[in-house]
A and B are shown apart, each in its own frame.
Chain A
Amino acid sequence: MGFFSHFGALVPLDHPGHYIHWHWFYLSVGNFIVICLMLATFIAALLLPFPGRRSRKENR
C-alpha cells in the first residue's frame, strides 16, 4: 500500500478541475490534452514511415 499511496500522491486530485473557458467554449484541461494527443497521433500516423513499406514496394 505504501508504494502505491506515494505514487498516487504524485498526481494531486484534491482540488477543483482546471478548465479552458472562452465565451461559449468550455473544456477541461484533461480533455484538451487528450484531444491534442489524438491530433498528434493522427498526424504522426500519416507522416511516419511504416516498417517494411519500402521492401514491399520493391517487391511489387
Chain B
Amino acid sequence: MSTEQIDRQWTTRLRKRVAGKLPPEKVLPDTQPAYVASWIYVFGVATLAALGVVIATGCLLAIRGPQWWHQSYVGHFVNSMHLWSVEIFFFAMVVHLWGKYFMAAWRGGRSLTWMTGVVLFLTSIATAFTGYASQTNFDSQWITTQAKDGINATGAGAYFNVLNLGQMLMWHIVLLPLAAVALTALHVVLVRLKGVVPPFEENATVGTPS
C-alpha cells in the first residue's frame, strides 16, 4: 500500500485530526492558568467524582438486586451510598452551574460546552427520576402514582409509562446512564479543547499590547 493510500484511510485521517486537536499535553495538562486557583473551579471535578461513585454503587446494586439492597446491612449501605452520591452529584453540579453562569462560560467559542452541560443537567434529572421510580418500595409507588398524571398530560405517557417498573428500570440503568456518560465525556473533551473559561478581566486583557 502506498503512502498516499495510507494517508487517505479514514483511520489515518481521524487519528491525525484527533492528535492535532487534542495532543496528550492538552488532554492531561501539567499546569492550569493562574485564575483556576479558586474554589469555584472545583465543583466541575467534584461532580465528576460523585458521578464515579454513583456508577460504581449502581453497578453493585445491579449485580446483587432488590432483595439485597432492601434486606441486608451491606445492601442498605451501598443503597445509601448510591443515594448520597447522587445528592452530592446534584449539589456540586448546581454550584458548578451557578459559577459557570455568572462567568458567562459560553464565551470564546464555548457555546457547545455550555449546551452539552445544559442537556447533561436535564438528562441527570431524568436519570434521578427513573431511579426514584425503580426503588421497588412504597416511596417509588407514591412517586410514580403522583407523577403519572403530569407525564400523561404531556403526551409522553404513551412511550414513557412511569407505572411500568421494568421500563423505568431499563431507562435508569441502561439508556439514561449511557446518555449521561457520553455527554459527560463530550463535555470534558470540549473543556480540554477550548480550555477553562477565563474571568472577565483576564478576557479583557487578551490581545492588548503589554
> A residues within 8 Å of B by Cβ?
1, 4, 34, 37-38, 41-42, 44-46, 48, 50, 52-53, 56-57, 60
Contacts and interface: CB of A to CB of B under 8 A. Distances in A.
Contacts of B94: 38
**Among the interface residues A41, A45, A50, A56, which one has the most CB atoms of the partner chain B within 10 A?**
A45
B175 interface: no
A53 B99 contact: no
A38 B34 contact: no
Interface stretch (B14-22, B37-45, B48-56, B57-65): B37-45
B95 A53 contact: no
Interface of B: 34, 37-40, 42-43, 73, 91, 94-95, 98-99
B37 A34 contact: no
B39 A38 contact: no
B37 A44 contact: no
B39 A48 contact: yes
Nearest to A46: B40
Contacts of A46: 38-40
6 contacts: A4-B73, A38-B91, A38-B98, A42-B99, A46-B38, A52-B37
A7 B42 CA distance: 33
